[in-house]
Amino acid sequence: MPLLTSLRICTRPVHPIQRHFRRLLGSHLSTGCRRIGVSVQSAFYHQYSSSSSSTTDNALCGKGIVVGCYETEGGYELTECAKDVDLQTKGKLIHTINMSGGPIKKGESRLFYDITEDHAHLAVVGLGPRNKGAPDVSTINEDIDVSRQTVRSAAAVGTKMLQSAKVADILLDDLSDAEACAEGSVLSLFSFDRLKAEKKRKKIPNVNLLSTNPVHSDNWERGCVLGEAQNFARDLMETPSNLLTPTIFVDRVSERVGGIRQGLADPNALTVVPRPLSWIQSQDMGAFLSIAKGSSESPWLLEVHYRGTESREDKQPIVLVGKGVTFDTGGISIKPSSGMGLMRADMGGAACVVATVMALAQLGCQQNVVGLVPLCENMPSSRAVKPGDVVVAKNGKSIEVDNTDAEGRLLLADTLCYAHTFNPQAIVDLATLTGAIDVALGSGAAAVFTTSNLLWQQLHKAGHVTGDRVWRMPLYNLYSKQIESHLADISNTGNRSRSGGACTAAAFLKEFVEVDEWAHLDIAGVMESHGELPFLGKGMSGRPTRTLIQYVMDTST
């Protein structure tokens, strides 16, 4: 497996709007000379020192603590951390909780002042009944580790309460699960407001773990990596398409990879290989190119490689493929204009894949992983592919482009063919592929279409642990029949109108897969959060990044 250039160095003219935003916002949107060795700072460690922020009205200051309490029959019980605080304050915490109405319900939070000498603010978050180990029948169909999800939510509620109270430094109770706690807190602090005026941007407090137990600290660190990976995917998804072209996507990923490499024992374990148009042409990727040629923005096929097994470079990699349409207008089969702006997130699969590979490197995962993301825009133009055109994919199959809005499967067809050249142990692709899957599952779970029961079990288990669930969907021959074409080998849409739209899309992809260990995740339904979860708020979700990371981590142990 060739691991070529580690970082591409180039200079390009900077578009005026990018120059403007760069001035406004710092390096983030850089498109020119690559800066190598940018340190990757998490939201958690972003310092808002009082000296620099005290001049603004909404500056953060002071210290605060978040602790938890469980519900018991007719009362409540403090977590271990909360008990310590109560002990140190000679019972002041329990006294104050009792004075303020007693038990705090699950998902709720109560703010107190001057409980301890060092921290002006203290929030107590409700965790519900303590998990006694036996599965709770009322949640058995939820397909989720409820106690971990409760911790994520509670950590988010507590963190946001102190953030609203303008606390600069927060110490967080591990809530019996430091990893989930970190995830909830990190995810809750995400806000995409760097395009707004400075004073309108949310200030990000420092958050650290209250406990000094090294086991808790390790779990906390892992949770931070997971949460930050998802936040990176959210950021890419949320970024407007004029500020995240395929080229800027490559730059943003290369910049972050450069920072992460610095923290690795072996920096060469993580590399990026951006493949330009000429390379895509040389690979006979006629399906991908048919969409890319409709836009004046250059397409890229970005590869992110991670080598986790020092001694066994030949170990078969897991190949992750992500749809990277930086904007989907629908092309000549143009979409209705209402809500079209959401199609800036049609690169959610790509975002999730690159965030995953980087996180696996940070976690020192013992797997070899290759991330492949085809990047382009889907635009109507005089050069755009037209309905009824026939194009030929890398594997020689001819495709009738019945609808130019079914573009994701064309990019993925060629990239899946290419994925086989890495001799993969498994191929997993992720794509915001169909509106039909949003109709079927909404934001409840990402859909998994797979020819492998093992892969299904692994992904399902990972979703249970992370709370970012997946649900299995069928790959029946019925759907393969529905994509037959009278012009070409196959059509890019099903012939039964919109019926089973997500299933015919999956059946289409199956035409380009020759390994058994393959799974396709349709993530269109989970692309956006609508406020269902306290730790995700509203906006682009970055789902299911943590589940993908968890899946790969689990295969390596």
Residue list 136-155, contact with Zn ion (CB under 5 A):
none
Q: Tell me, what DSSP letter sits at residue 142?
A: G
> Are 176 and 137 contacting, i.e. CB atoms less than 8 angstroms apart?
no
Nearer to Zn ion, 60 or 524 (CB): 524
Which one-letter amino acid corresponds to residue 168? A
Active-site annotation holder among 92, 166, 293, 335: 335
Please identify which residue in 238, 328, 429, 528 interacts with Mg ion, judged by CB under 5 A: 328
Does residue 174 touch Zn ion according to CB under 5 A?
no
Nearer to ligand BES, 318 or 524 (CB): 524
Using CB atoms, what's the residue nearest to Zn ion?
A: 328
| Whole-number Å distance between alpha carbons of 46 and 189 | 11
> Are 425 and 522 contacting, i.e. CB atoms less than 8 angstroms apart?
no
- Given ligand BES, Zn ion, Mg ion, none, residue 436, with its beta carbon under 5 to 8 Å by kind, binds ligand BES
- 409 is an active site residue: yes
DSSP string, 422-473: G--SEEEEEE---HHHHHHHTTS-EEEEES-HHHHHHHHHHHHHHS--EEEE
> Are 122 and 85 contacting, i.e. CB atoms less than 8 angstroms apart?
yes
Neighbours of 554 (CB within 10 A): 13
Residue list 437-466, contact with ligand BES (CB under 6 A):
438
- Given ligand BES, Mg ion, Zn ion, none, residue 78, with its beta carbon under 5 to 8 Å by kind, binds none
Helix (H) or strand (E) holding 272: strand 270-275
Fill in the per-residue mask, 395 to 434: x = in contact with Zn ion (CB under 5 A), - = not in contact: -------------x--------------------------
Q: Which residues are within 8 A (CB) of 423 and not within 5 positions of it... i.e. 6 or more apart?
A: 1, 316, 317
Residue list 366-405, contact with ligand BES (CB under 6 A):
403, 405
Neighbours of 399 (CB within 10 A): 27
Nearer to ligand BES, 152 or 409 (CB): 409
Does residue 179 touch Zn ion according to CB under 5 A?
no
Nearer to ligand BES, 189 or 353 (CB): 353
Does residue 435 touch ligand BES according to CB under 6 A?
yes
Active-site annotation holder among 203, 409, 469, 510: 409
Please identify which residue in 328, 377, 429, 517 interacts with ligand BES, judged by CB under 6 A: 328
With CA atoms as reference, report the closest residue to 250 among 364, 347, 387, 356: 347
- 461 is an active site residue: no
Which one-letter amino acid corresponds to residue 396? G
Q: With CB under 6 A, what is the number of residues at the site for ligand BES?
A: 17
- Given Mg ion, ligand BES, Zn ion, none, residue 403, with its beta carbon under 5 to 8 Å by kind, binds ligand BES
Which one-letter amino acid corresponds to residue 311? S
Q: Min. distance of Cβ 459 from Mg ion in angstroms?
A: 25
Phi (first) and psi of residue 189, to 5 degrees: -90, 0
Q: Min. distance of Cβ 383 from Mg ion in angstroms?
A: 18
Q: Min. distance of Cβ 502 from ligand BES in angstroms?
A: 8
> Are 253 and 354 contacting, i.e. CB atoms less than 8 angstroms apart?
yes
Please identify which residue in 179, 255, 405, 438 interacts with Mg ion, judged by CB under 5 A: 405
Nearer to ligand BES, 227 or 349 (CB): 349
| Whole-number Å distance between alpha carbons of 436 and 481 | 18
| Whole-number Å distance between alpha carbons of 504 and 376 | 23
| Whole-number Å distance between alpha carbons of 546 and 228 | 10
Fill in the per-residue mask, 322 to 361: x = in contact with Zn ion (CB under 5 A), - = not in contact: ---x--x-----------------x---------------
Q: Min. distance of Cβ 519 from Mg ion in angstroms?
A: 21
**Cα 440–chain centre separation:** 21
Q: Min. distance of Cβ 430 from Mg ion in angstroms?
A: 16
| Whole-number Å distance between alpha carbons of 89 and 458 | 47
Q: Min. distance of Cβ 238 from ligand BES in angstroms?
A: 14
> Are 174 and 68 contacting, i.e. CB atoms less than 8 angstroms apart?
no
- Which of the residues are catalytic? 335, 409
Per CB under 6 A, residues contacting ligand BES are: 328, 346, 403, 405-408, 432-436, 438, 493, 501, 524, 527
Per CB under 5 A, residues contacting Mg ion are: 328, 405, 407
